Copies of this chain bind each other. A is one copy, B any other.
Amino acid sequence: MPTQTPSTACLLVIGNEILSGRTQDEHIPYFGKCLNKWGIHLLEVRVVADNKEAIADAVNVCRARYTYLFTTGGIGPTHDDVTAAAIAKALGLPLERHPRAIKILKAYYGAERINDARLRMAEMPKGAELIANPVSKSPGFRVENVFVLPGPPLVLQPMLAGIAHELTGGPPVLARAVSAELGEGAIASGLEAIQEHHPEIEIGSYPYFRDGKLGVSIVVRGIKEAALSDTLQEVINLLKDLGGNPIAEVQD
């Protein structure tokens, strides 16, 4: 069999707060480690300001040069969130409100809290596929080989775990997720036991704060469907045993 050229990647970190020195970047080491694991070569990182032209320029150079381009930041509801518009501009696509993103946002915020600013988070280039957000719901998106993710690491990290199976770097990885309002410390030893019984499955635990409540999302990843289902069932059983009310999360 011929040797395949390995997949390559670029990470584009978007945010004035990184360039000003106010916020220490956490994405570079996180992507570095994830992509190592997935056999995808992270060859370049760029950090640019919340500026449409700067973002669009970097996106067009980097999406052409690498197998995958990941962006972080600038997809919230405020005036300084310009990433979606910049990417639409870069790809020459219209910016539209994604119908399923609207649904997700309306369901999450409810009739009283949904407003026009929050609905701006549904704006994406036409044809974008959603990236599920188990922490704060507002989805990221993918267009072609560009993956658009939010800035806060606690929100981004479970989203990245959830798209691993879309990347070519090794055998495809399947993922399932379940969440419950339990602290990570409460489930840790049980989860570890499950992991030990299923060394071929990767179990990830991601704490979240949602509507003022602490919770945890468990993501199970692996290449064998049967082992994955077995593991997920054990995780669900664990969460139930500990008094949680596990809710399966939709994976794109």
Measuring CB to CB, which residues of chain A are less than 8 angstroms from any residue of chain B?
Answer: 13, 16-25, 28-33, 36, 42-50, 54, 76-80, 109, 113, 115-118, 120-121, 151-152, 154, 173, 175, 177, 183-189, 191-192, 195, 202-209, 212-214, 219, 221, 251-252
Contacts and interface: CB of A to CB of B under 8 A. Distances in A.
B207 A76 contact: yes
A47 B48 contact: no
Given A43-B49, A209-B212, A189 B117 contact: yes
Contact of A29 (B21, B177, B208): B21
A152 B214 CA distance: 12
Q: Would you call the interface of chain A mostly helix, strand, loop, or mixed?
A: mixed
Report the copy number of this chain in the oligomer: 2
B46 A203 contact: no
A251 B203 CA distance: 35
Nearest to A65: B57
A188 B79 contact: yes
Nearest to A49: B43
B22 A219 contact: yes
Question: Considering residues A79, A154, A195, which has the most beta carbons from chain B within 10 angstroms of its beta carbon?
Answer: A79
